[in-house]
Structure formats: structure tokens, C-alpha cells
Amino acid sequence: MNANVLGLPDPEELPEGTRRVFADAHDRDLALELVTRPAARSLEEAAELLGISPAEIVKTLVLRRGEGDYLFALIPGGRRISWPKLRETLGVNRVTLPDAEEALAATGYERGTITPLGSTTAWPVYADATIPGRRVSLGAGAHGWSIFTAADELIAALGAVVADISEPEG
């Protein structure tokens, strides 16, 4: 593994976004493991750096249902959102991916660092049905940082809706 596993972090040494992640996890009684890692050019490279399979990396996408109405979708590596399944699950005709500036305004996180933990607004969370039952890695609110946690505990802590909202990539 080319990542540096950290014990309990000193909050003063963490980026502001990562401090928000840990504060929220603490409030939710959710255990996290924090690692630093070099930048990766692909999901596969990130997985290799972390010593895990791509499917263990959960991408957090912020999506827009309507004006000022967002949600988080948790999708494992190697899969992508199935827009028809997601729209059916949400009972809406349209869901869009906001641009980077809008995603930052909605969550307080830059793309590539987005996580539901510590978001500036606690939007609803939808987790793909393939996520439960394993340990996963997510963004940690800042570039160069990742967190690990038990998917089932994460889903419970966030009150996430688990649904079939993805399909294999490719």
C-alpha cells in the first residue's frame, strides 16, 4: 500500500474539509480510518495505492433533483449510475449532475473530495445495493486523503436509502 495509515488524527493538522468529516462521524458514532495517499489518475490507480480493489472505493456523487434540491449517490468503483433506475427510485423525471462550482456550493467540497460526511448541508443519501456488507473507502473532504469504514455502519449512520441505482461500467 502506498498510502499512509494514520491513527487518531490531530485535528489541527488536517485540512478543514477532513476536520468536518471527522466531526460529523464523531457525532454519528461512526468509526473511520484515515489515510493519506498520492494523487491518482484513475480509479484503478487509486485502488492500487490504497491496496484494495476498485469496487471497494465508493464514489460520492452530488446530484440535483431541482433548484436547490440535491442528494448524494454512493456508487462503488467499476459501476456507474443507472439514470433510469435512479429516477425510478426517486420518483422523478429528471436528475442532473451539477457543475463543479454548484457541487462545491451544495456540499462545501470540491469534486474528487465529496463525501456526505461533514457536508455543509445534510442532503439525503442513496447507496447502491452492491455496497452493503463490506469495508469501503471514500473521499475525506480534501485531496490526498481517504477514509475507510464499514459500509453497513456508514449506511446506518447516514440514514441512507439502499437501492439498485447502478450498473456495471463499460
Helix, strand or coil for residue 60?
A: strand
pLDDT at 5: 45
The string of pLDDT tens digits covering residues 73-113 is 999 999 999 999 999 999 999 999 999 999 999 999 999 89
Quick check: 128 and 164 in contact, CB under 8 A? yes
pLDDT at 8: 52
Write the CA distances from 139 to 3, 30, 65, 112, integer angstroms. 14, 15, 23, 7
Quick check: 117 and 149 in contact, CB under 8 A? no
- Domain count for the chain: 1
pLDDT at 41: 86
Give the H or E element holding residue 163. strand 161-163
Quick check: 62 and 126 in contact, CB under 8 A? no
pLDDT higher than threshold 60 for residue 44: yes
Cell of 84: 433510469
Mean pLDDT of 9-18: 81
Q: Phi and psi at residue 70, in whole multiples of 5°?
A: -120, 170
Quick check: 87 and 95 in contact, CB under 8 A? yes
Kindly report the CATH number assigned to the domain that includes residue 87.
3.90.960.10
pLDDT higher than threshold 90 for residue 21: yes
pLDDT at 9: 57
Among residues 68, 69, 70, 50, the alpha carbon closest in space to that of 58 is found at 50
Range of the domain at 13: 4-168
Helix, strand or coil for residue 90?
A: helix
Rounded CA-CA distance 154/137 in Å is 11
pLDDT at 1: 43
pLDDT at 39: 84
pTM: 0.93
